[in-house]
Amino acid sequence: MAELITEAYREMQRQLHENPNYGVASVQYAPVVAQVVQQARISSLLDYGAGKGRLGETLKGLVPWPLTIAHYEPSRPDWSATPQPNDFVTCIDVLEHIEPELLANVLDDLQRVTLKLGFFTVHCGPAVKVLPDGRNAHLTQKPPRWWLQHFIDRFEVQQMQRVPNGFWILVSKV
């Protein structure tokens, strides 16, 4: 399997995740994710780059049936195993944090694990937080058109919505 994160960067992310205010963006997208879950009758999802697992916690109060949530978070040993494919995959506020030289590998892995639908968000500008080595926490700051081509190469785009400083995209398996 292709490398998804270097050990040095995994450690930096582990340190950042000690901050209680790091990895909270997924909660704001929970209502949209819940709507997709309900419309598509989803019973399980994979939260790819799950951070602290806040998306899953929030969805429990928004989805009117039991929802099984698998987590993949390479900075947490308990969630760092290679993720299994799932019908629905979310990847929220993650892709802009991926090491640029490994971004294609991560996008390919998202393609591998997405069996039916994927909901991904990208923040296109700089982050407020910085990495322990001084770099901005958003390693890839590109406009939506740049990101869109990467998604089109791997998925069928169902919907794309601009949001302040970025966008979210709903995709399906090709």
Which range has the worst mean pLDDT, 16-20, 46-50, 94-98, 130-134? 16-20
> Which two tokens mark 93?
């506020």
Domains, the chain: 7-172 (3.40.50.150)
Per-residue model confidence as pLDDT tens digits over 72-103: 999 999 999 999 999 999 999 999 999 999 99
For residue 1, what pLDDT is reported? 81
Which residue(s) pair with 163 in the sheet? Answer: 166
Angle at 78 between CA 73 and CA 84, to 5 degrees: 60
Per-residue model confidence as pLDDT tens digits over 112-158: 999 999 999 999 999 998 998 999 999 999 999 999 999 999 999 99
Q: Report the share of the chain in percent with pLDDT over 70.
A: 100
For residue 23, what pLDDT is reported? 72
Residue 18 scores a pLDDT above 90:
no
The whole-angstrom separation of Cα 120 and Cα 94 is 9
Per-residue model confidence as pLDDT tens digits over 59-74: 999 999 999 999 999 9
Which residue(s) pair with 44 in the sheet? Answer: 68
Helix (H/G/I), strand (E/B), else coil: 109:
helix
